């Protein structure tokens, strides 16, 4: 039987603790105050902070419910020969895992051991996980669920600017903007406090939202003097090319900026020449007049603007999100948005800019310090000899012992249990059978493994399939650092003690490294791990060497890069970009045939996304009664005309299907969606898992899967009476 935590006996600290929300990358500030004698050990109150300014969403307000929630794991679980879990001691569980890793390495080689991380892990855990994979196990097979989130935006930002930081400016810089273009993001539901930073642009009539659905964010624009642009799903690249065409055709380009700060502008002009507004309209469904209006608004300057040399507050920002990035041409689409921003002279200009909205709590820091297949800490390339030499010196190992680049997440998961593939998999901070594309295939792969080990605090859908489950601490029970969507490193402070029997993942990794006779030092205390991370990142793109816990505990803002002796970099690119010559690279992109979209033309297109009440795979939020009761089942949104054509009424049970699988949910009729489009949330398990029908085809640059465009059929499910 699984041991459950007793909420009433969870020990706690006596004083209030200033910390941050466990969910999205906005990292809203909150205070946790002990609540003695109650099932939930702390009370939550919002705290003033630049990102949330004293606000919290439903998820933040209810986040403490998880600390006293039923179903908490408090002892290691091992699956027996009968297929059932039994509790065991920590030594026995860790010995079993270490023996499994050794056996797999001996029989199949080190790359037969895989490690899968998560964008919610602290910087310390992400760092030590990458070091563990490469030094303790010796495998190159490590990647993480950020591959499903930020990889296209990261790839586009890196090749254009020379580095990838979601927002290269503080969030509050948006407050004074007169124009903000939001592409493929629904911040009013996914990170509600962020919407407050849009108020200036909204009141100025300059909030422009691009989304196939009329989301709450789109209403902020459409209900005022702004614009809601509603293209066909997956046509964002064409739309951006068309807007950029107008910028060139109507002389709206900042020619001085292009000449002084970029390379490749001539090729951009040629690449958008064929995308005149009427042609763009025929592909995107967006009227030509709207395309021209968007271009003109983006290029407009508020009264009294001094221009590129000293643009004041009241400028223009372009922000992208997963809706335009989670495609097989997601990197090119993000690049097209960057090209548009460069043509307008926005990046690095005071009062204006370009950015992308990181989703997961530590999606930014999680990809900086070594759990990504091709990167070493400090955002260094694993193929760079100098980077390898630096890390070898920090770790005290021969450079040749550090494996080369691994394979990205989708390829890693496709190899599970197959000849030459991964035979043992360790999963940290991810619920793969709900969150991965083509989820049925992933589930089959997990079933082929010789050993599946999952670290979690609840028995998630993925943990339920494991051979060994290791119970770990939750957010308010651990120490560490996180990096917000604006590249700001913040402290996560322990507010309550973890239940007896639960361990920190740093301790688990250190103990496994010892059992594997790993070289190097293996600290298991967060502060000590961060000190090593500082050294490992020093001199890299994401340099944290000037940051320490004392600085963060004193409340100092710490935006990376933060080299030793500096005061950090809240605003990037003011003088130069991160390429050696200081120039931004304009990479011309083109629209190419897309098999899934072509199939959707004859069927319907499913787009997926988040709800206000839930987060990611729902493994946490579906356990909070208030959130679960508000959205207990998957509701699939479709236009009334589409519903009528298929004999579907509001509330009917329906099924979406394609060659990959079938998804069930309840019909929710709304004119806020295009007739050719369906929407399903991706938070639900079982036959409500939206990713049963999403494609695992990937972007050739970023290896981002095609989440946002799935060709499906829809039908009403006939429920037998009685």
How many CA atoms lie less than 13 Å away from 206 in the CB half-sphere?
25
Q: 205 and 336 in one domain? A: yes
Q: 60 and 183 in one domain? A: no
The answer to whether residue 8 scores a pLDDT higher than 50 is no
21: left (phi over 0), alpha (psi -120 to 50) or beta: beta
How distant is the alpha carbon of residue 346 from its chain centre?
24
Using 50, 70 and 90 to split pLDDT, how confident is the model at 186? Answer: very high
Find the mean pLDDT for residues 448-452. 98
Rounded to the nearest 5°, which phi and psi values hold at 263?
Answer: -130, 145
**Residue found under tokens 């090319």:** 241
Kindly report the length of the chain.
722
Find the mean pLDDT for residues 646-654. 98
What CATH number does residue 618 fall under? Answer: 2.40.40.20
Report how many domains make up the chain: 3
Residue 313 domain-assigned (yes or no): yes
pLDDT at 224 (0 to 100) = 67
Range of the domain at 689: 595-716
Q: What percent of the chain has pLDDT over 90?
A: 90
Please identify, among 50, 68, 86, the residue that sits at the C-terminal boundary of a domain.
68
- What Rg, from alpha-carbon coordinates, does the chain have? 25
- What are the tokens at 431? 């619920």
Q: What is the pLDDT of residues 155-172, one digit of tens each?
A: 999 999 999 999 999 999
Q: 313 and 192 in one domain? A: yes
Residue 442 domain-assigned (yes or no): no
Which string of b and e fits 197-209 if b means at least 16 CB within 10 Å? bbebbbebebbbb
Using 50, 70 and 90 to split pLDDT, how confident is the model at 223? Answer: confident
Whole-angstrom Cα distance, residue 265 to residue 254? 11
Burial class (CB in 10 A: 0-12, 13-18, 19+), 164: buried
Give SS3 for 63: helix
pLDDT at 5 (0 to 100) = 36
What CATH number does residue 15 fall under? Answer: 2.20.25.90
Please identify, among 40, 68, 96, the residue that sits at the C-terminal boundary of a domain.
68
Identify whether 561 is preceded by a cis peptide bond (ω within 30 of 0): yes
The answer to whether residue 6 scores a pLDDT higher than 80 is no
Residue 135 domain-assigned (yes or no): no
Q: 339 and 210 in one domain? A: yes
Cα dihedral across residues 660, 663, 667, 668: positive or negative:
negative
Burial class (CB in 10 A: 0-12, 13-18, 19+), 592: exposed
pLDDT at 9 (0 to 100) = 33
The residue among 519, 621, 609 whose CA lies nearest residue 324 is 609
Residue 221 domain-assigned (yes or no): yes
Whole-angstrom Cα distance, residue 669 to residue 254? 45
* Beta strands at 710-716 and 604-609: parallel, antiparallel or unpaired: antiparallel
| Helix pair angle (505-515, 123-131), 10° resolution | 10
pLDDT at 601 (0 to 100) = 64
Find the mean pLDDT for residues 168-192. 96
pLDDT at 600 (0 to 100) = 63
Neighbouring residues of 681: CB distance < 8 A, sequence distance ≥ 6:
608, 609, 610, 611, 614, 631, 634, 635, 690
Please identify, among 16, 36, 68, the residue that sits at the C-terminal boundary of a domain.
68
Whole-angstrom Cα distance, residue 2 to residue 720? 37
Higher pLDDT, 150 or 290: 290
Q: What is the pLDDT of residues 44-57, one digit of tens each?
A: 999 999 999 999 99
What CATH number does residue 297 fall under? Answer: 3.40.228.10
How many CA atoms lie less than 13 Å away from 43 in the CB half-sphere?
10
* Beta strands at 424-428 and 113-117: parallel, antiparallel or unpaired: parallel
Q: 61 and 181 in one domain? A: no
Q: 53 and 172 in one domain? A: no
Using 50, 70 and 90 to split pLDDT, how confident is the model at 222? Answer: confident
* Beta strands at 316-320 and 179-183: parallel, antiparallel or unpaired: parallel
The whole-model pTM stands at 0.94
Q: Where are the alpha helices (DSSP H) in 607-692?
A: 625-630, 640-645
Using 50, 70 and 90 to split pLDDT, how confident is the model at 11? Answer: very low
Q: What is the pLDDT of residues 552-605, one digit of tens each?
A: 999 899 999 999 999 999 999 999 999 999 999 999 999 988 777 676 666 899
DSSP per-residue codes, 179-230: EEEEES--HHHHSGGGGGGGHHHHHTT-EEEE-SB--HHHHHHHTTTSEEE-
Whole-angstrom Cα distance, residue 544 to residue 530? 9
Q: What is the pLDDT of residues 235-286, one digit of tens each?
A: 999 999 999 999 999 999 999 999 999 999 999 999 999 999 999 999 999 9
The answer to whether residue 546 scores a pLDDT higher than 80 is yes
The residue among 362, 457, 621, 475 whose CA lies nearest residue 32 is 475
Measured CA to CA in angstroms, residue 370 lies from 134, 182, 348 at distances of: 9, 30, 28
Higher pLDDT, 556 or 103: 103
The answer to whether residue 104 scores a pLDDT higher than 70 is yes
pLDDT at 313 (0 to 100) = 46
Using 50, 70 and 90 to split pLDDT, how confident is the model at 10? Answer: very low
The residue among 180, 231, 134, 54 whose CA lies nearest residue 591 is 231
The residue among 147, 112, 533, 539 whose CA lies nearest residue 373 is 147
pLDDT at 302 (0 to 100) = 56
The answer to whether residue 14 scores a pLDDT higher than 70 is no
Using 50, 70 and 90 to split pLDDT, how confident is the model at 15? Answer: confident
Residue 649 domain-assigned (yes or no): yes
Whole-angstrom Cα distance, residue 20 to residue 674? 37
Whole-angstrom Cα distance, residue 598 to residue 221? 30
Q: What is the pLDDT of residues 492-526, one digit of tens each?
A: 999 999 999 999 999 999 999 999 999 999 999 99
Least confident of 27-41, 382-396, 566-580, 665-679: 27-41
Higher pLDDT, 359 or 86: 86
The residue among 333, 322, 332 whose CA lies nearest residue 356 is 322
Q: 179 and 57 in one domain? A: no
Give SS3 for 44: strand
Which string of b and e fits 347-369 if b means at least 16 CB within 10 Å? bbbbbbbbbbbbbbbbbbbbbbb
Q: 195 and 325 in one domain? A: yes
Whole-angstrom Cα distance, residue 120 to residue 458? 15
pLDDT at 594 (0 to 100) = 77
Q: What percent of the chain has pLDDT over 70?
A: 95
pLDDT at 305 (0 to 100) = 47
Residue 494 domain-assigned (yes or no): no
Is 707 within 8 Å of 608 (Cβ atoms)? yes
Q: What is the pLDDT of residues 105-128, one digit of tens each?
A: 999 999 999 999 999 999 999 999
Residue 78 domain-assigned (yes or no): no
Residue 233 domain-assigned (yes or no): yes
């Amino acid at each position: 039987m699984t041991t459950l935590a007793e909420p009433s006996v969870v020990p706690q600290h006596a004083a209030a603790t200033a910390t941050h929300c466990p969910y999205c990358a906005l990292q809203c500030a909150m205070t946790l105050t002990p609540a003695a004698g109650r099932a939930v050990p702390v009370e939550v109150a919002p705290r003033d902070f630049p990102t949330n300014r004293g606000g919290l969403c439903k998820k933040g307000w209810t986040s403490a419910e998880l600390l006293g929630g039923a179903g908490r794991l408090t002892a290691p679980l091992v699956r027996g020969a009968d297929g059932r879990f039994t509790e065991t001691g920590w030594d026995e569980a860790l010995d079993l895992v270490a023996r499994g890793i050794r056996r797999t390495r001996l029989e199949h080689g080190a790359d037969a051991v895989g490690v899968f991380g998560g964008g919610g892990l602290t910087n310390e855990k992400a760092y030590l996980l990458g070091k563990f994979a490469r030094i303790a196990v010796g495998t190159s097979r490590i990647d993480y669920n950020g591959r499903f989130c930020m990889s296209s935006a990261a790839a586009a930002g890196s090749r254009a600017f020379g580095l990838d930081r979601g927002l290269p400016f503080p969030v509050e810089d948006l407050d004074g903007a007169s124009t903000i273009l939001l592409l493929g993001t629904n911040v009013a539901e996914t990170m509600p406090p962020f919407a407050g930073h849009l108020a200036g642009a909204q009141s100025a009539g300059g909030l422009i939202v691009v989304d196939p659905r009329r989301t709450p964010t789109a209403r902020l624009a459409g209900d005022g003097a702004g614009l809601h642009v509603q293209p066909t799903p997956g046509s964002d690249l064409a739309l951006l090319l068309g807007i950029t065409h107008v910028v060139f055709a109507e002389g709206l380009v900042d020619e001085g900026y292009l000449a002084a700060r970029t390379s490749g502008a001539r090729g951009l002009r040629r690449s958008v020449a064929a995308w005149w507004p009427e042609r763009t309209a025929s592909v995107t469904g967006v009227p030509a007049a709207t395309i021209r209006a968007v271009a003109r608004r983006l290029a407009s300057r508020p009264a009294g603007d001094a221009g590129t040399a000293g643009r004041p507050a009241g400028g223009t920002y372009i922000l992208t999100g997963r809706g335009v990035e989670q495609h097989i041409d997601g990197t090119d689409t993000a690049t097209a948005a960057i090209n548009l921003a460069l043509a307008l002279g926005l990046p690095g200009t005071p009062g204006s800019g370009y950015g992308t909205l990181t989703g997961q709590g530590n999606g930014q820091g999680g990809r900086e310090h070594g759990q990504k297949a091709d990167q070493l800490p400090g955002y260094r390339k694993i193929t760079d000899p100098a980077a390898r030499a630096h890390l070898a010196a920090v770790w005290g190992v021969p450079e040749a012992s550090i494996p080369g680049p691994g394979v990205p997440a989708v390829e890693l998961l496709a190899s599970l249990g197959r000849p030459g593939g991964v035979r043992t998999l360790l999963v940290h901070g991810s619920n793969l059978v709900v969150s991965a594309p083509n989820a049925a295939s992933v589930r089959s792969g997990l079933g082929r493994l010789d050993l599946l080990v999952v670290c979690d605090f609840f028995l998630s859908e993925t943990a339920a399939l494991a051979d060994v489950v290791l119970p770990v601490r939750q957010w308010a029970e651990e120490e560490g650092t996180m990096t917000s969507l604006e590249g700001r490193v913040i402290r996560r402070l322990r507010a309550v003690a973890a239940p007896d029997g639960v361990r920190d993942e740093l301790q688990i990794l250190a103990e496994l490294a010892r059992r594997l006779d790993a070289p190097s030092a293996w600290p298991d205390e967060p502060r000590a791990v961060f000190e090593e991370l500082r050294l490992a990142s020093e001199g890299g793109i994401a340099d944290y060497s000037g940051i320490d816990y004392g600085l963060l505990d004193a409340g100092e803002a710490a935006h990376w890069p933060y080299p030793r002796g500096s005061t950090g970099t809240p605003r990037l690119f003011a003088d130069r970009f991160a390429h050696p010559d200081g120039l931004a690279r304009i990479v011309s992109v083109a629209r190419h045939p897309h098999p899934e979209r072509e199939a959707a033309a004859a069927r319907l297109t499913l787009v997926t996304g988040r709800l206000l009440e839930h987060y990611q795979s729902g493994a946490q939020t579906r356990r909070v009664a208030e959130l679960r009761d508000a959205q207990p089942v998957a509701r699939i949104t479709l236009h009334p005309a589409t519903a009528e054509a298929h004999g579907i009424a509001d509330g009917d049970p329906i099924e979406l299907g394609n060659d990959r699988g079938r998804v069930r949910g309840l019909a929710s009729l709304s004119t806020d969606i295009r007739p050719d489009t369906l929407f399903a949330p991706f938070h639900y398990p079982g036959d409500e898992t939206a990713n049963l029908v999403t494609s695992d085809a990937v972007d050739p640059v970023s290896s981002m899967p095609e989440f946002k465009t799935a060709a499906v059929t829809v039908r009403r499910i006939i429920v037998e009476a009685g």
